[in-house]
Structure 1
């Protein structure tokens, strides 16, 4: 239930008995009402574990509710896991966490971004945008590159357009793929507030000091990635998929990226609508990220967002993220049309964990049958080879940061190191607002 204003109670007052009656009529049962046992929840837990083999009881409870429509207590989940998977429970208990306290002035004071390359061997790359005051995920994307500043700026522009607002400042690590956001956000702020025209409205934080995305990637790797990584490794290790083969890579991207993006969207939605465990060290508001994001006033917080002018935003988009740029295409247009036609013939109603490699193999076979045709050969010939270590990744593009003085650190985003938690900063990170690496799930 949301923390509403006093007037909300007067306007929407309802008795407990009426609420129970309505819930019964709607078929909504509580954990006690569903009356699950260790045996009855077993099949659903195992289905979830197949996709998320390392989920803890907190995440498992939310996944069972959202995807299996099962309402069950964490105690019952823990009883099942201790009975059937005790080793996994002990591994999760043994994790050592470093705690630190994160502070930012309010909602939309800053947005933070980061890329993730742990799936490079599949030629898949991730990127995330986070509003750190609420912990709300702005976007969580998977694509065939994350090293193109125009692509990243495009995701920023999409988010600003959806929200109708932008933050005061943006922040990322110093990698060049984030220069598109640095330039685009700075241009947008300058167009709407000429008084800012002499400074870059973006902060670059290196040496693991862009802490919120780093924490998020740690959580994603632990809570979401393992099951999907097993699926991807199956194709790679069994010779079904060779990223060095341009045709196989195109088919793989066509099949896997939309499927994985849908799964990531589910994870982001669950993340945004799940209240983290209470953390006594946390000084930012406690609550569901989506509640804090959409109703900061209910958490005695201030919204610093700046309303975005649609014409200024369009000018920024055309300058730094033109929609007709090839980086926004999943695969070349001609290949997409042919693949869509083949998929219609194959008539797969749904792509799942269990059949995705079969779908990939069937689509690849269709393309192999026309591989010698000129239009297919032309498409393959335009595909770059997979880069080795130390080489530029596919889709990379250089973009310089606008020549302006850097953003001057003052009030805003940072970490207050909690010495009692045993996480003191080094001399190198002695600045009050510097970030300290942490693996704390609920920071």
Structure 2
């Protein structure tokens, strides 16, 4: 006779709603299936005290109103206004990205086919423009998670005096950071971002990689010193590899995706302000106000993009040997994908020493604007009680704040800050740091068929032919 009280004679209670509901809402927004959600929830509650079955999850989702795409039953007409609202920010988004954005930001669950039908009906010219292209394929080898981190900079917004930098874990495709700042040429700044991620993760990769630009010397030196401190046997070689033109493949692929999937809508917004004469990057005051207002907002939008990017499962690609799944899942649980984590656990005092040497937190490059200017801007901001910054009002806030500064022509302290900022920015933007004089790290050359089972490759055709960029059906 079955025991009604449970396997050990005690009834196991369901996990409390106050703990489970926020997690379920997030997992649903991330696109996990019900069985996947039940499995992931076990990492967040004591399985000896609580349980949470698939049947209970389905009941809870009904009670909490977390309907699936079938339950929401959207049509081409009903989902249209929401799609157009998203298109204001991401005018060139493909059907896959649109579906993810609708799910995560609008909490709208809709089948991809409905999105395709809407776009073919209302934007047929854009559909025709999104056709598959054949590109030359190249390969990128990596043995597992955290064997290697790759970095690269992006200067396409130089006319706005805005610069980007990305750090990637190539095996999983996980984006470690995506930053916007008023420079990306200072090695101390780049090393600081590396140290931030190492501190957050508690570990570092075996090797780092970048193009030969001197802005990457900070990471090369910092990572090498950190590895040497924890493993003296490595002290004869540089623990960083510099790759020449078109050989730092994964970040180059990412920038191609970034330019298509995120940048166009925001670039158009900034171009409008420049064309209307609202912003001149050569004017010191306008540039400081612009940085103070726009950089935090753009960084917030980038964080949302990366959350979607890391949490989205791409379609299977027969040209890829890497495991298929969401980058965040592969990065955090490589053992579930027949791989392993090569991360080296970091001794915090060593990381502090490296940071103090190569990326001191009080260095001016880490200041959004000069401290005196920031203090005055915060005073104006609090007095004006601006609403939350968004694309609809950001230029208005910028213009109002700019006028507040212009109304103080006799403020000698402000004039001094402006004069100093012009000179200091030029010095801090591209500070030179020599790389350690050590023999370069060299890996055994691999060829196709030489890889072990858990080694994977990326092909450059991902940059343009991945399904994430296409409105068309597979048969097109």
Fold in common (TM above 0.5) = yes
Q: Is the 8 A contact 1:210 1:435 kept in 2?
A: no
Pick the aligned partner of 2:87 from 33, 39, 49: 49
| CA 393–99 in structure 1, closer or farther in 2 if over 3 Å, else same | farther
Secondary structure of the structure 2 residue equivalent to 1:126: strand
Q: In the alignment, which residue of structure 2 is the partner of 1:290?
A: 328
Q: Is the 8 A contact 2:139 2:457 kept in 1?
A: no
Pick the aligned partner of 2:440 from 396, 401, 406: 406
Secondary structure of the structure 2 residue equivalent to 1:384: helix
Report the RMSD for the aligned CA atoms in angstroms: 2.6
| CA 233–364 in structure 1, closer or farther in 2 if over 3 Å, else same | same
TM-superposed deviation, 1:170: 0.2
Secondary structure of the structure 2 residue equivalent to 1:140: strand
TM-superposed deviation, 1:99: 3.8
Q: In the alignment, which residue of structure 2 is the partner of 1:216?
A: 254
| CA 197–17 in structure 1, closer or farther in 2 if over 3 Å, else same | closer
1:329 aligns with 2:363: no
Q: Is the 8 A contact 2:157 2:163 kept in 1?
A: yes
Secondary structure of the structure 2 residue equivalent to 1:286: coil
Pick the aligned partner of 1:265 from 283, 286, 303: 303
Pick the aligned partner of 2:277 from 221, 239, 261: 239
Q: In the alignment, which residue of structure 2 is the partner of 1:375?
A: 413
Q: In the alignment, which residue of structure 1 is the partner of 2:100?
A: 62
| CA 111–142 in structure 1, closer or farther in 2 if over 3 Å, else same | same
TM-superposed deviation, 1:94: 4.6
Query: TM-score w.r.t. structure 2 length?
Result: 0.84
Q: In the alignment, which residue of structure 1 is the partner of 2:60?
A: 22
Q: Is the 8 A contact 1:100 1:415 kept in 2?
A: no
TM-superposed deviation, 1:441: 5.9
Q: In the alignment, which residue of structure 1 is the partner of 2:317?
A: 279
Secondary structure of the structure 2 residue equivalent to 1:138: strand
1:4-63 deviations in Å (ceiling 9; x for gaps): 99xx79989866543322210121101111011111101110010000000000000000
| CA 398–330 in structure 1, closer or farther in 2 if over 3 Å, else same | same
How do residues 132-281 of structure 1 correspond to structure 2 at under 5 angstroms?
132-281=170-319
TM-superposed deviation, 1:161: 0.4
1:395 aligns with 2:433: no
Q: Is the 8 A contact 1:103 1:416 kept in 2?
A: no
Q: Is the 8 A contact 1:166 1:306 kept in 2?
A: yes
| CA 380–416 in structure 1, closer or farther in 2 if over 3 Å, else same | farther
Give the number of equivalent residue pairs.
421
Q: Is the 8 A contact 2:224 2:238 kept in 1?
A: yes
CA–CA separation in structure 2 for the residues paired with 1:441 and 1:315: 44
Q: In the alignment, which residue of structure 1 is the partner of 2:386?
A: 348
Q: Is the 8 A contact 1:130 1:213 kept in 2?
A: yes
Q: Which deviates the most, 339-348 or 289-298?
A: 339-348
* Moved segments of 4+, more than 2 Å: 1-5, 8-20, 94-103, 383-387, 414-417, 433-443
CA–CA separation in structure 1 for the residues paired with 2:231 and 2:148: 17
CA–CA separation in structure 2 for the residues paired with 1:40 and 1:236: 36
CA–CA separation in structure 2 for the residues paired with 1:210 and 1:122: 26
CA–CA separation in structure 1 for the residues paired with 2:88 and 2:284: 31
Q: In the alignment, which residue of structure 2 is the partner of 1:423?
A: none
1:192-230 deviations in Å (ceiling 9; x for gaps): 000000000000001110000000000000000000000
CA–CA separation in structure 2 for the residues paired with 1:297 and 1:108: 13
TM-superposed deviation, 1:404: 0.2
| CA 375–163 in structure 1, closer or farther in 2 if over 3 Å, else same | same
Query: TM-score w.r.t. structure 1 length?
Result: 0.90
| CA 441–180 in structure 1, closer or farther in 2 if over 3 Å, else same | farther
Q: In the alignment, which residue of structure 2 is the partner of 1:91?
A: 129
Secondary structure of the structure 2 residue equivalent to 1:406: coil
| CA 373–135 in structure 1, closer or farther in 2 if over 3 Å, else same | same
Q: Give the gaps of 5 or more residues in structure 1.
A: 418-432
Secondary structure of the structure 2 residue equivalent to 1:93: coil
